[in-house]
Amino acid sequence: MARWKTFRSCPGCGFDFATGEGEKGCHHYDCPYLPEELDVFCPQCRFDFFTMEGNPSCDDPATCPHGQEARSHVENVARWRAGLGVGG
């Protein structure tokens, strides 16, 4: 089974990556253990392609070349959340 399908937050971390709620238990901006296959943030401006929230630095985040790889991970996040029983 792919590692990203079984990803869970670190012990002591209060942030729920599936719902986006809670507070991180560490000082890292990005979780160093988050599998690349679940990273849906634009590396340029940190726009979230799963929720389509953020302040994109481009006119159309859906076609921005910087977010091509992150956009390809959106389906992984949807499948991962479904496996955890989280809607959306």
* DSSP at 9: P
Q: Please state the domain extents for the chain.
A: 1-88
* DSSP at 10: P
SS3 call for 53: strand
The single-letter code of the amino acid at 26 is C
Spell out, as residue ranges, where the chain has pLDDT lower than 70. 1, 87-88
Cβ-based burial of 85 (10 A; exposed 0-12, middle 13-18, buried ≥19) = exposed
Q: How many other CB atoms are there within 10 angstroms of residue 17's CB atom?
A: 21
- pTM for the predicted model, two decimal places: 0.81
